[in-house]
Each structure stands twice: as C-alpha cells, then as structure tokens.
Amino acid sequence: MHPVLADLVSVLDLESIEANIFRGPSRDIGSPQVFGGQVLGQALIAASRTVEERSVHSLHAYFLRRGDVNAPIVYEVDRARDGGSFSNRRVVAIQHGRQIFNLAASFHINEPGFEHALQAPDVPGPEGLPEVMKVWAARLDNLPRKVREFLGNQRPFHVRIVEENHNDSDDMQPVKHVWMKAVDELPDDPQLHQAMLAYISDYELLGTATLPHGEERALRGELQMASLDHAMWFHRPCRVDEWLLFSFDSPSAGGARGLARGQVFTRDGQLVLSTAQEGLIRQR
C-alpha cells in the first residue's frame, strides 16, 4: 500500500485502552490544528467498534476546540441504546483533559425497503482533470510559506476539481464538483471505508462557502475559518478506493458563518452519501 495511505489507515486503527475507551494518534498535515476529518473518522471508528452487525446510517458532530497535532486523542464511547434494529452511540474526544469534539451516531441493521435517489450531476469524469495540487502550483508564490507547505504535502487521496474555481474574484457561484479516491487499494473492511469517507468529506466542503467571496483570501490568511459542526447520512455502501463524485454547494453565508452541503455519487451515478457542515468564516 502507498505509504501515505497506509499511515492514514494506521491513524484510524484505534488502540483499545479500556472498555468503551479508545486512543488514536494525531497527524500534522500542515493545518494549524488537527484536521477535522481525522477526528471525525476516528470517532466513527470508536463508535463502530462497540456495535455488532449494524452499519452507521447517520452522524452529527460538533467541533469544540482546536486539536493538538502533537498529542494523541482519547475517545470515550457511551452505548446510549441498543434496540431491535437501531443502535445509538455518543462519543466524546478528549485532549489534555478537555473535550475537543463530540459525536452522536446511529447504526441500523441491513433490511430492505423503498428506494429512490437523485441522479448524479452531468459533469466530466476524472480522466484528464488535473490534480488539485497542480492547479494551485501556479499560484503558490503568492501564498504564505505555511500554506505553500500545506498545499505541497502529499495526500492519501487523489483530488480532481471539475471547475477551476481557484481565483480571487467575487463572482463565483458557490458550487463545486470534485472527484476523489484513495491513492491505492484498501482492505475490504466496510467500517474502514465509512471512516475514510468521513475523513475526506471534510476536504473541500466548507471552502465552497468562500467561492463567491474570493477563495484565495482564506489561503492568504485574510479569513479565519473553522468547522463548527458536521452531519453525514450514509445511504448505500461504497468503496473510497474507487472514484467518487462530491457535489458541493453553499446555500447561505452570513453572521460570520457559512453553510455547505454535499452529495456523493459513485462512478455509475449511485447516491451513497449526503453531508452538511456549518463553519466559521470571519474576515480578520
């Protein structure tokens, strides 16, 4: 397996230190704090480790404090309920004796039911689209050193953006389509693929809310941005080592907050995930 992807798999493979208590390492990917997708994925793994024969169908999370990239994170799981077909778990993430994140997740047995789904948007496929890092390469000289290092770090996922929205104008629509997949093949572990999906759902989501206001302002440090909450609804199984289309939009921004939504489709157009996030967007 590619070393960067193998490291992410190890980050999500939590250590069990007591009944319902887990510990996970942190990774510095160049951001000022622990990447939100890491905490989201680890918390989901912690909750999933306490559930049998049921898969997560929804989660709702709040980011409370910045995570320290130099310290591990402890996850305490509350087995809130195990019913006939649903289980609910609450997870608290702790660093240095303080809560930095909490999550509620619901799990459901596999059972048949009515089905319908929205169609995938008609956009070009990933072939021929440049990696997002190559798109940014021509603009790196105008960005701060830490941002250049962050954008230059090798990622465990291919990221290819359909629209070249990366500019400093104020007339972009708050819409973005992104193809993503892991850089290498992953094990056949449904819990791992769900956690990986939670991890990458935080990659490009909130940035959609900055498009009408000049996306590069955030990279130049002119905007203070932070995830406030994150919600996910898992509709159907999928693999994150196959191409997935992330369709993002931002219906509103105001009051120093922006809301972004996303739908995720497989290559053959099947809707597998819906997600939403509100974040702080404050001009410095």
93-111 per-position pLDDT tens digit: 999 999 999 999 999 999 9
Is 44 inside any structural domain?
yes
Is 205 inside any structural domain?
yes
Residue 146: predicted pLDDT: 63
Is 118 inside any structural domain?
no
Is 163 inside any structural domain?
yes
d(CA 217, CA 209): 12
208 contacts 248 by C-beta, under 8 angstroms: yes
36-48 helix and 3-12 helix, angle to the nearest 10 degrees: 50
d(CA 141, CA 19): 50
User: Domain with 18 in it: what CATH number?
Assistant: 2.40.160.210
Under DSSP, the state recorded for 70 is T
Is 117 inside any structural domain?
no
Is 116 inside any structural domain?
no
Active site residues: 202, 227, 277
**Tens digit of each residue's pLDDT (9 = 90 or more) over 104-135:** 999 999 999 999 999 999 999 999 898 887 77
Is 226 inside any structural domain?
yes
Mean pLDDT of 266-272: 97
**Tens digit of each residue's pLDDT (9 = 90 or more) over 213-256:** 876 666 667 788 899 999 999 999 999 999 999 999 999 999 99
Residue 36: predicted pLDDT: 94
Q: What is the pTM of this model?
A: 0.92
The total number of residues written for the chain in this structure: 284
Residue 219: predicted pLDDT: 64
Sign of CA pseudo-dihedral 37, 281, 142, 147: negative
Q: Which domain covers residue 208, as residue numbers?
A: 3-111+123-283
The overall average pLDDT reported for the chain is 91
How many domains would you assign to the chain? Answer: 1
- Give the pLDDT band (50/70/90) at residue 34: very high
Is 50 inside any structural domain?
yes
Q: How far is CA 244 from CA 96, 104, 269, in A?
A: 37, 25, 9
